Structure 1
């Protein structure tokens, strides 16, 4: 097996890869993959914003395993992901990662531990709508189906009833996450053994078909012990994928896009912080257009509307690092368009890291101030949320 280790946004590495694997990585856009112009069989690989693990099975050749490590600690990545899903449940929740410093082993360990805690009191049971055929009426009689299938015959009877069972959405999600992890290479053997044990405990639930939508579940007091396990399971199901490529190549991946991770966290954290000031923050606002004819649509990451419905704050998250020359000018042009369209005098760009915590630019002949904020993701979760809270307070005062 060929193992390649890359770091998010680090300089490119030159590695020896089968030609099919190199082309597959180039087409997938998971990393920047370019063949070496001078040496056949060599590829230049550079990781972008996607982090995690990728496995490529090459027919007749060595399998390729690619690991992409984020620049921030794995525990911080999990906090950003979890907070975006459930800001109240994850605020003070610490998940044991057993010292793993890579995404896949850490998530596999965390999912197994949380699943074990959820199932210690036994499988959760609930009522599930069920349709069936029986010789006695149970629940509700389905008249239309009885006529369509039985042509007026009195027996058997088409019925619908609520069955009390362990085959419910919560258990199906946990089983799907466990099985998805078991399909991925690179999980420590001890963790894999424990995952197999959890799969056996969840055997009564129906497995999800690949590509099937994740079942919906509603948090309540009855499934409270499942909440953290389900949050992790959903993260795994959203981040893991498998696909067949041309030439019998098969790819299994467990990836997160740091651009989206950062954007989701900023939007949710700002929404929670701005709620204290009244009004209603809107994420990914769709009703913003640049022109009066509504032909040029724009989608700011966050727009905060006051109680009267007027926009008060616009913000955009950018997972970029400021260079010695500053941030890209295109971001400022974009924010200027947002402010002009919404009639605001202040616009806020929030970056993952920068040379200064805050920079403001006043646009000539307009009075519009474009703010650029740098957020240090290396902070502890409580300090990180405090920074976002202070940022929201500054936005509300502007």
Structure 2
């Protein structure tokens, strides 16, 4: 009987003591997941492990770590829906517990596979691939110089350049790369692996040069995905790309002893909170004539030497602006000054008179800055991190109303 690996459960920013790891596992954890968990050696040949602002599951050769969010599952699920524009999740959540959601990416893979199957049914996008070949008869464009060289060697064939239809276009290459990454996963539902293998056969290029045309690292894959514009010709790929982007951003594979792969799944809650707020406010404020511009670059120095990137710039039709920056943390007195100085830099660069620091939780306040027309508002999405989904929605509705009032030149409360 195979021994089960020890399972260590913890929450965001939580700490557990007395963890025993092999040298190999400790190296993997420090090298590949140092941004997720910190390790500190303690007496007794053990480790003290502290989680940062990530949730998910990390599998090592001799241990499994499950990091749970402090938020209710409905709230985290809603953030995922908005951040990645996955409308189908609003009506059919495939998981029922936080541990199930962050512990295994199988639900994510299932949604991706479903979209790929739908694309195959409706028809994959095709393009043309250039070929240069020596033929018995002319096809396409004759390459005169190359043909004469052959004839001088008494090789009486025509060197032609022609285009052939192919489905090995950028969109399908990326989906194929995702399927290749997913096929080695271990799934509770045996149908998942079978469906992935069947899809791989459908996406496999006839030319047999798939591996050479695929990006290798996750960073390269995400960059290739970001460079691919959505047009009327490939817009039906959008949902599959959304699932693929989430999969590549959240999953990683560690190779343990004997070449055995261990798949992990982690979500950056800072990034998730930022993306959720940006998309949600942009959608909710648009009907009121207020546009949202997320992660745009600006410069504080006159010569462009100091680059700043606020999370969200809100602007109405008259050009008035409010700068908003998200902070996925509990607002405390210790964290106030750095956050305020950061917001002052944003507001100075944008010449904005109002700035909002939006925290995940904590008390609220507003401060008018001396000798300026600037006011910084420190608001929170929740009173406590563990507030219910209903309380979260109620508070967000209130924040949206405050922003609208600001643009209507009403006093913020």
TM tier relative to shorter chain: 0.7 to 0.9
Structure 2 residue 369 is the aligned partner of structure 1 residue 370: no
SS of equivalent to 1:335: helix
* Largest Rg, 1 or 2: 2
Structure 2 CA distance for partners of 1:92 and 1:47, relative to 1, 3 Å: closer
Structure 2 CA distance for partners of 1:91 and 1:119, relative to 1, 3 Å: closer
Structure 1: gaps spanning 5 or more residues: 58-62
User: What's the CA shift string for 1:277-328, capped at 9, x where partnerless?
Assistant: 4465332232231x444433322112234546x55111111111124x5753
CA contact (8 A) 2:55 2:268 kept: yes
2:15 paired residue number: 11
2:350 paired residue number: 342
TM-score, normalised relative to structure 1 = 0.77
1:210 paired residue number: 216
CA–CA separation in structure 2 for the residues paired with 1:151 and 1:313: 69
User: What's the CA shift string for 1:125-166, capped at 9, x where partnerless?
Assistant: 22223122454666x6485xx756985766242212433x4x
Structure 2: gaps spanning 5 or more residues: 152-156, 205-209
SS of equivalent to 2:370: coil
SS of equivalent to 1:96: coil
Structure 2 residue 307 is the aligned partner of structure 1 residue 297: yes
- Which deviates more, 259-268 or 363-372? 363-372
Structure 2 residue 236 is the aligned partner of structure 1 residue 234: no
Structure 2 residue 275 is the aligned partner of structure 1 residue 269: no
TM-score, normalised relative to structure 2 = 0.75
Structure 2 CA distance for partners of 1:297 and 1:161, relative to 1, 3 Å: same
CA–CA separation in structure 2 for the residues paired with 1:105 and 1:219: 35
The CA deviation at 1:359 is: 2.0
RMSD: 3.8
Structure 2 CA distance for partners of 1:156 and 1:55, relative to 1, 3 Å: farther
CA–CA separation in structure 1 for the residues paired with 2:367 and 2:124: 57
2:56 paired residue number: 52
SS of equivalent to 2:126: strand
The CA deviation at 1:91 is: 8.2
Q: Quick one: which of 32, 36, 60 aligns to 1:30?
A: 36
2:121 paired residue number: 122
The CA deviation at 1:195 is: 3.4
CA contact (8 A) 1:142 1:160 kept: no
CA contact (8 A) 1:112 1:195 kept: no
CA contact (8 A) 1:50 1:255 kept: yes
Structure 2 CA distance for partners of 1:362 and 1:71, relative to 1, 3 Å: same
Structure 2 CA distance for partners of 1:162 and 1:35, relative to 1, 3 Å: same
CA–CA separation in structure 2 for the residues paired with 1:21 and 1:72: 29
CA–CA separation in structure 2 for the residues paired with 1:317 and 1:66: 28
User: What's the CA shift string for 1:101-129, capped at 9, x where partnerless?
Assistant: 33355641243156336626736322223
Structure 2 residue 287 is the aligned partner of structure 1 residue 284: no
- Which deviates more, 152-161 or 214-223? 214-223
The CA deviation at 1:196 is: 2.7
2:327 paired residue number: 318
